[in-house]
Protein backbone atom coordinates (compact mmCIF):
# COMPACT_ATOMS: atom_id res chain seq x y z
CA UNK A 1 0.00 0.00 0.00
CA UNK A 2 1.04 3.59 -0.58
CA UNK A 3 1.36 5.71 2.55
CA UNK A 4 0.10 9.27 2.65
CA UNK A 5 3.00 11.71 2.94
CA UNK A 6 2.97 15.47 3.44
CA UNK A 7 5.40 18.27 2.66
CA UNK A 8 4.76 21.26 4.93
CA UNK A 9 6.32 24.67 4.34
CA UNK A 10 5.82 27.54 6.79
CA UNK A 11 5.99 31.01 5.24
CA UNK A 12 7.85 33.39 7.61
CA UNK A 13 6.63 36.41 5.64
CA UNK A 14 2.97 35.57 6.25
CA UNK A 15 2.80 34.67 9.95
CA UNK A 16 4.22 31.21 9.25
CA UNK A 17 1.16 30.24 7.19
CA UNK A 18 1.39 26.60 6.20
CA UNK A 19 1.61 25.54 2.57
CA UNK A 20 0.93 21.82 2.33
CA UNK A 21 1.53 19.32 -0.47
CA UNK A 22 0.64 15.63 -0.68
CA UNK A 23 3.23 13.86 -2.88
CA UNK A 24 1.64 10.44 -2.17
CA UNK A 25 -1.77 9.45 -0.85
CA UNK A 26 -3.09 6.09 0.34
CA UNK A 27 -6.25 4.52 -1.04
CA UNK A 28 -9.58 5.00 0.79
CA UNK A 29 -10.79 2.38 3.26
CA UNK A 30 -13.00 -0.25 1.69
CA UNK A 31 -16.47 -0.97 3.04
CA UNK A 32 -15.37 -4.58 3.53
CA UNK A 33 -12.70 -3.40 6.01
CA UNK A 34 -15.03 -1.50 8.34
CA UNK A 35 -16.21 -4.58 10.23
CA UNK A 36 -12.64 -5.38 11.26
CA UNK A 37 -12.15 -1.79 12.46
CA UNK A 38 -15.35 -2.07 14.49
CA UNK A 39 -13.93 -5.17 16.21
CA UNK A 40 -10.80 -3.22 17.13
CA UNK A 41 -12.98 -0.45 18.59
CA UNK A 42 -14.70 -2.80 21.04
CA UNK A 43 -14.67 -1.19 24.51
CA UNK A 44 -11.98 1.32 23.55
CA UNK A 45 -11.59 5.06 23.33
CA UNK A 46 -11.33 5.71 19.59
CA UNK A 47 -9.89 8.75 17.83
CA UNK A 48 -10.66 8.84 14.09
CA UNK A 49 -8.15 11.11 12.40
CA UNK A 50 -8.21 10.95 8.60
CA UNK A 51 -5.16 12.26 6.76
CA UNK A 52 -6.26 12.67 3.15
CA UNK A 53 -9.96 11.96 2.56
CA UNK A 54 -9.59 8.18 2.97
CA UNK A 55 -12.43 7.61 5.46
CA UNK A 56 -15.97 6.84 4.25
CA UNK A 57 -18.72 8.89 5.87
CA UNK A 58 -20.40 5.81 7.38
CA UNK A 59 -17.31 4.72 9.34
CA UNK A 60 -18.46 6.62 12.43
CA UNK A 61 -21.83 4.85 12.42
CA UNK A 62 -20.09 1.47 12.12
CA UNK A 63 -17.70 2.20 15.01
CA UNK A 64 -20.31 3.76 17.31
CA UNK A 65 -21.88 0.63 18.88
CA UNK A 66 -18.49 -0.77 19.97
CA UNK A 67 -16.52 2.34 20.95
CA UNK A 68 -16.58 3.45 24.58
CA UNK A 69 -15.69 6.95 23.35
CA UNK A 70 -15.68 8.10 19.73
CA UNK A 71 -13.79 11.31 18.90
CA UNK A 72 -13.33 12.64 15.37
CA UNK A 73 -10.67 15.07 14.19
CA UNK A 74 -11.90 15.00 10.58
CA UNK A 75 -9.77 17.71 9.00
CA UNK A 76 -8.26 15.18 6.60
CA UNK A 77 -11.68 14.70 5.05
CA UNK A 78 -11.69 18.37 3.99
CA UNK A 79 -8.42 18.06 2.06
CA UNK A 80 -8.36 18.06 -1.71
CA UNK A 81 -5.57 18.61 -4.22
CA UNK A 82 -4.89 18.92 -7.93
CA UNK A 83 -2.06 17.96 -10.26
CA UNK A 84 0.37 20.22 -8.35
CA UNK A 85 -0.52 18.24 -5.16
CA UNK A 86 -1.02 21.50 -3.21
CA UNK A 87 -3.72 21.04 -0.58
CA UNK A 88 -6.87 23.15 -0.41
CA UNK A 89 -10.03 22.55 1.59
CA UNK A 90 -13.53 21.45 0.61
CA UNK A 91 -16.68 21.43 2.77
CA UNK A 92 -17.96 18.17 4.24
CA UNK A 93 -20.65 16.41 2.27
CA UNK A 94 -24.11 16.11 3.82
CA UNK A 95 -23.41 12.40 4.39
CA UNK A 96 -20.23 13.26 6.30
CA UNK A 97 -22.08 15.74 8.51
CA UNK A 98 -24.64 13.02 9.27
CA UNK A 99 -21.83 10.55 10.01
CA UNK A 100 -20.22 12.89 12.53
CA UNK A 101 -23.46 12.89 14.54
CA UNK A 102 -22.50 9.40 15.73
CA UNK A 103 -19.42 10.76 17.53
CA UNK A 104 -19.05 12.09 21.08
CA UNK A 105 -16.78 14.94 20.05
CA UNK A 106 -15.61 16.65 16.86
CA UNK A 107 -12.37 18.68 16.84
CA UNK A 108 -11.44 20.79 13.82
CA UNK A 109 -9.34 23.91 13.24
CA UNK A 110 -10.38 27.25 11.84
CA UNK A 111 -7.61 26.85 9.24
CA UNK A 112 -9.13 23.61 7.96
CA UNK A 113 -12.48 25.36 7.45
CA UNK A 114 -10.98 28.15 5.34
CA UNK A 115 -13.46 29.10 2.63
CA UNK A 116 -16.41 27.33 4.25
CA UNK A 117 -19.70 29.24 4.22
CA UNK A 118 -21.11 30.56 7.48
CA UNK A 119 -23.98 28.07 7.15
CA UNK A 120 -21.60 25.16 6.76
CA UNK A 121 -19.55 26.18 9.81
CA UNK A 122 -22.78 26.56 11.78
CA UNK A 123 -23.77 23.06 10.65
CA UNK A 124 -20.49 21.67 12.01
CA UNK A 125 -20.86 23.55 15.31
CA UNK A 126 -24.46 22.63 16.02
CA UNK A 127 -25.48 19.61 13.92
CA UNK A 128 -22.71 17.05 14.43
CA UNK A 129 -21.41 15.81 17.80
CA UNK A 130 -22.75 16.77 21.24
CA UNK A 131 -19.41 18.54 21.81
CA UNK A 132 -17.54 20.41 19.07
CA UNK A 133 -14.18 22.10 19.55
CA UNK A 134 -12.87 24.58 16.99
CA UNK A 135 -9.21 25.45 17.44
CA UNK A 136 -7.53 28.60 16.15
CA UNK A 137 -3.85 28.36 17.01
CA UNK A 138 -2.54 31.11 19.27
CA UNK A 139 -6.05 32.63 19.37
CA UNK A 140 -7.24 29.71 21.48
CA UNK A 141 -10.22 27.41 20.95
CA UNK A 142 -13.99 27.32 21.43
CA UNK A 143 -16.05 24.50 22.89
CA UNK A 144 -19.62 24.32 21.60
CA UNK A 145 -21.79 22.26 23.94
CA UNK A 146 -25.40 22.42 25.12
CA UNK A 147 -25.90 25.79 23.44
CA UNK A 148 -22.79 27.29 25.09
CA UNK A 149 -19.73 28.80 23.43
CA UNK A 150 -16.87 28.29 25.92
CA UNK A 151 -13.60 30.05 25.12
CA UNK A 152 -10.34 28.30 26.04
CA UNK A 153 -7.28 30.60 25.72
CA UNK A 154 -4.13 29.26 24.13
CA UNK A 155 -1.24 28.59 26.47
CA UNK A 156 1.14 31.55 25.90
CA UNK A 157 4.58 30.95 24.47
CA UNK A 158 7.47 33.38 24.24
CA UNK A 159 8.00 34.65 20.68
CA UNK A 160 11.31 32.77 20.31
CA UNK A 161 9.68 29.55 21.58
CA UNK A 162 7.02 29.71 18.90
CA UNK A 163 9.05 31.17 16.01
CA UNK A 164 11.79 28.56 16.29
CA UNK A 165 9.47 25.77 17.41
CA UNK A 166 7.83 22.74 15.83
CA UNK A 167 4.65 23.42 13.91
CA UNK A 168 3.80 20.04 12.36
CA UNK A 169 1.04 17.87 13.84
CA UNK A 170 -0.15 20.27 16.52
CA UNK A 171 -3.84 19.83 15.73
CA UNK A 172 -3.44 16.07 15.85
CA UNK A 173 -1.63 16.39 19.18
CA UNK A 174 -4.42 18.53 20.66
CA UNK A 175 -7.05 16.04 19.46
CA UNK A 176 -5.16 13.10 20.98
CA UNK A 177 -4.87 14.93 24.32
CA UNK A 178 -8.62 15.62 24.30
CA UNK A 179 -9.48 12.02 23.43
CA UNK A 180 -7.27 10.77 26.26
CA UNK A 181 -8.71 13.18 28.85
CA UNK A 182 -12.36 13.26 27.75
CA UNK A 183 -14.63 12.58 30.76
CA UNK A 184 -16.84 9.48 30.61
CA UNK A 185 -19.55 10.15 27.98
CA UNK A 186 -22.27 8.60 30.16
CA UNK A 187 -21.59 11.32 32.76
CA UNK A 188 -22.86 14.02 30.40
CA UNK A 189 -26.51 13.62 31.45
CA UNK A 190 -26.05 12.28 34.99
CA UNK A 191 -23.40 14.75 36.17
CA UNK A 192 -23.80 17.58 33.67
CA UNK A 193 -22.06 20.34 35.68
CA UNK A 194 -19.12 18.13 36.62
CA UNK A 195 -18.85 16.89 33.04
CA UNK A 196 -18.63 20.49 31.83
CA UNK A 197 -15.90 21.35 34.35
CA UNK A 198 -13.84 18.26 33.48
CA UNK A 199 -14.13 18.98 29.77
CA UNK A 200 -12.93 22.57 30.23
CA UNK A 201 -10.00 21.32 32.34
CA UNK A 202 -9.14 18.75 29.65
CA UNK A 203 -9.13 21.44 26.95
CA UNK A 204 -6.92 23.76 29.02
CA UNK A 205 -4.45 20.93 29.67
CA UNK A 206 -4.48 19.96 25.99
CA UNK A 207 -3.72 23.58 25.10
CA UNK A 208 -0.74 23.61 27.50
CA UNK A 209 0.63 20.24 26.37
CA UNK A 210 0.36 21.19 22.69
CA UNK A 211 2.09 24.51 23.32
CA UNK A 212 4.95 22.65 25.00
CA UNK A 213 5.17 20.36 21.97
CA UNK A 214 5.61 23.47 19.80
CA UNK A 215 8.18 25.09 22.08
CA UNK A 216 11.71 25.06 20.68
CA UNK A 217 14.14 22.87 22.62
CA UNK A 218 17.80 22.12 22.15
CA UNK A 219 18.56 18.88 20.36
CA UNK A 220 15.00 18.28 19.12
CA UNK A 221 13.93 18.20 15.48
CA UNK A 222 10.37 18.63 14.26
CA UNK A 223 8.25 15.48 14.30
CA UNK A 224 7.63 12.78 16.87
CA UNK A 225 10.67 13.92 18.83
CA UNK A 226 8.94 17.21 19.65
CA UNK A 227 6.20 15.44 21.65
CA UNK A 228 6.91 15.53 25.38
CA UNK A 229 6.28 12.57 27.66
CA UNK A 230 3.93 13.04 30.66
CA UNK A 231 7.01 13.04 32.91
CA UNK A 232 8.64 15.83 30.86
CA UNK A 233 5.43 17.89 30.99
CA UNK A 234 5.28 17.49 34.77
CA UNK A 235 8.93 18.49 35.14
CA UNK A 236 8.47 21.56 32.92
CA UNK A 237 5.32 22.59 34.81
CA UNK A 238 7.07 22.31 38.17
CA UNK A 239 9.93 24.49 36.94
CA UNK A 240 7.57 27.04 35.37
CA UNK A 241 4.74 27.08 37.90
CA UNK A 242 4.17 30.83 37.51
CA UNK A 243 3.46 30.44 33.80
CA UNK A 244 1.22 27.41 34.40
CA UNK A 245 -0.82 29.18 37.08
CA UNK A 246 -1.04 32.30 34.96
What tens digit of pLDDT does each residue of 66-95 get? 999 999 999 999 999 999 999 999 999 999
Answer whether 164's CB lies under 8 Å from 192's CB: no
Quick one: pLDDT at residue 80?
93
Answer whether 156's CB lies under 8 Å from 243's CB: yes
240 pLDDT exceeds 90?
no
Q: What is the mean pLDDT of residues 94-102?
A: 95
Where residue 47 falls (left for φ over 0; alpha for ψ -120 to 50; beta otherwise) is: beta
Cα separation, 50 vs 56, whole angstroms: 10
Measured CA distances, 138 to 18, 110, 153, 214 (Å) = 14, 11, 8, 11
Find, among 69, 26, 17, the residue nearest to 48 by Cα: 69
What tens digit of pLDDT does each residue of 118-130 get? 999 999 999 999 9
Cα separation, 195 vs 189, whole angstroms: 8
CA angle, residues 151, 98, 114, in degrees to nearest 5:
50
pLDDT tier at 221, thresholds 50, 70, 90: low
Amino acid sequence: YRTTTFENTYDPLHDYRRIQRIPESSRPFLQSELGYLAELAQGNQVLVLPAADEIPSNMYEVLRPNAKLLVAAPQGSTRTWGEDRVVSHKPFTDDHIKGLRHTDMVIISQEDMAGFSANHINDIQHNTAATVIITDGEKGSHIYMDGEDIFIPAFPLEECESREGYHTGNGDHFAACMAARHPAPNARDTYRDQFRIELIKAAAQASRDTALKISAREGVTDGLGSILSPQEITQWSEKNMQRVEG
